[in-house]
């Protein structure tokens, strides 16, 4: 199952990989904290059950989370552009079963506040010649779980936040399905 807060293009890359039989799996559901997330439409287009939990972090939200996790019994939980923190007591229920994709070469440019364009701006300001994306296991600390796989992306002199973000995102769309396939189809 997936958590997503935004457009859901990473979510879509896995939907497509499952549809093309590249990944032998069923996507059991989507949880989002944002009722305007593009991921909702993508789920609807593929009859993937979706629940919106706007008050993420509240007791009521936790109860809903447990309800759907119990119902869906996921073998793997994927955070694909999810901006909220999974409550620790949930993370502890799924050791090495929650993964996240992050648009930098962690541990660089990770942690609180490093999401979306903030990441790419920090990379450009640092003068680093290379960036990339990382899929890692989720633990109780933001972006600090064990790294599973990374893809490097060259930073070009003429890069803007937008051009770098786009180039990294297109690598994310390859990396995430690849890692999920590696984990599930062992």
Determine if 29 is a binding residue for ligand GRF (CB under 6 A). Answer: no
Q: Is 101 in the site for ligand GRF (CB under 6 A)?
A: yes
Residue 26 and residue 54 in contact, taking contact as beta carbons nearer than 8 Å:
no
Q: Is 10 in the site for ligand GRF (CB under 6 A)?
A: yes
Min separation Cβ 92 and ligand GRF, Å = 22
Q: 3-state DSSP helix/strand/coil percent for the chain, to nearest 5?
A: 40, 15, 45
Residue 128: which H helix or E strand, with range?
none
Q: Are 174 and 186 in contact (CB under 8 A)?
A: no
Question: Is 102 among the catalytic positions?
Answer: yes
CA distances to 43, 44, 125 from 16, rounded to whole Å, are 11, 14, 35
- For the bound state, the minimum distance from the C-beta of residue 182 to ligand GRF, rounded and expressed in Å, comes to 18
DSSP state of 159: -
- Quick count: other Cβ atoms within 10 Å of Cβ 2? 27
Near ligand GRF by CB under 6 A, which window of 5-13, 15-23, 84-92, 156-164? Answer: 5-13
Site map for ligand GRF, 137-176, x if CB under 6 A?
--------------------------------x--x----
Q: Taking Cα atoms as reference points, which of 92, 115, 98 lies closest to residue 180?
A: 98
Task: Find the binder of ligand GRF among 2, 3, 6, 18 (CB under 6 A).
Answer: 6
Residue from 27, 28, 103, 138 touching ligand GRF (CB under 6 A): that is 103
Task: Tell me the catalytic residues.
Answer: 102
């Amino acid at each position: 199952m997936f958590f997503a807060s935004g457009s859901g293009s990473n979510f879509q890359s896995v939907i497509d990989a499952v549809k093309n039989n590249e990944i032998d799996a069923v996507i059991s559901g989507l949880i989002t904290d944002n009722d305007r997330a593009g991921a909702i439409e993508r789920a609807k287009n593929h009859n993937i059950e979706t629940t919106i939990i706007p008050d993420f972090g509240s007791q009521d939200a936790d109860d809903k989370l447990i309800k759907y996790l119990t119902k869906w019994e996921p073998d793997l939980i994927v955070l694909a552009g999810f901006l909220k923190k999974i409550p620790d007591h949930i993370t502890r229920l799924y050791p090495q079963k929650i993964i996240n994709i992050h648009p930098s070469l962690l541990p660089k440019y990770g942690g609180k506040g490093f999401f979306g364009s903030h990441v790419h701006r920090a990379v450009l300001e640092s003068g680093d010649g290379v960036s990339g994306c990382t899929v890692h296991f989720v633990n109780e600390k933001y972006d600090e779980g064990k790294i599973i796989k990374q893809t490097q992306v060259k930073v070009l002199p003429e890069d803007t936040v937008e051009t770098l973000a786009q180039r990294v995102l297109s690598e994310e769309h390859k990396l995430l399905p690849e890692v999920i396939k590696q984990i599930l189809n062992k």
